[in-house]
Each structure stands twice: as structure tokens, then as C-alpha cells.
Amino acid sequence: VIGELYMSLGFFGIAIGGWLYGRFAALINGLLTQSAGLGVVVIYSIGVMALFSGMRSMLELVLVSYVIVAWVVLSRLFRTQFQ
């Protein structure tokens, strides 16, 4: 990831990318500490997996994060459908 960030924007890209990875990690950690339930644990687990696999390539971070988006969309769809 550091190489991809450097090729994109140089040292400024590395700083911005590191900050974004940190914000994503803080967001995932905040989800687990603020809420309880099976859905939150699933989203936390997928988020941590995305961060670890995303350390190899930014593409992996994006692809694994699609699972979180799908989980949120499906949970909202089923929540509104069954209420």
C-alpha cells in the first residue's frame, strides 16, 4: 500500500493514506465499543479482515469492504420489510 500511495501522490499520499487507514480502523473499533449484537460483530470482523488484507493492496481493501456495504444494505432491507 505504501508503494501505491507513493506512486499516486508521493509523500503527501502516504500521509493521507495513513490517516485514512487510521480513521477506518477507528470507525471499526468505535462500532464494536458503542453497540452490541451479532450484526456489529460481523461488521467488525469483516472490517478487521479488510484492514489486514488491505495492507497488501488498496484494491483488496476496497473489494473486501464491499461485503460490509452488502451486509448493511441487506440488513436495512430486511429490517424495513419485516416491520
What are 9-64's pLDDT values in tens digits?
899 999 998 999 899 889 888 888 887 777 788 888 888 888 888 888 888 888 88
Rounded to whole angstroms, the Cα distance separating 81 from 83 reads 6
pLDDT at res. 83: 59
Rounded to whole angstroms, the Cα distance separating 14 from 19 reads 8
Indicate the pTM of the whole model: 0.71
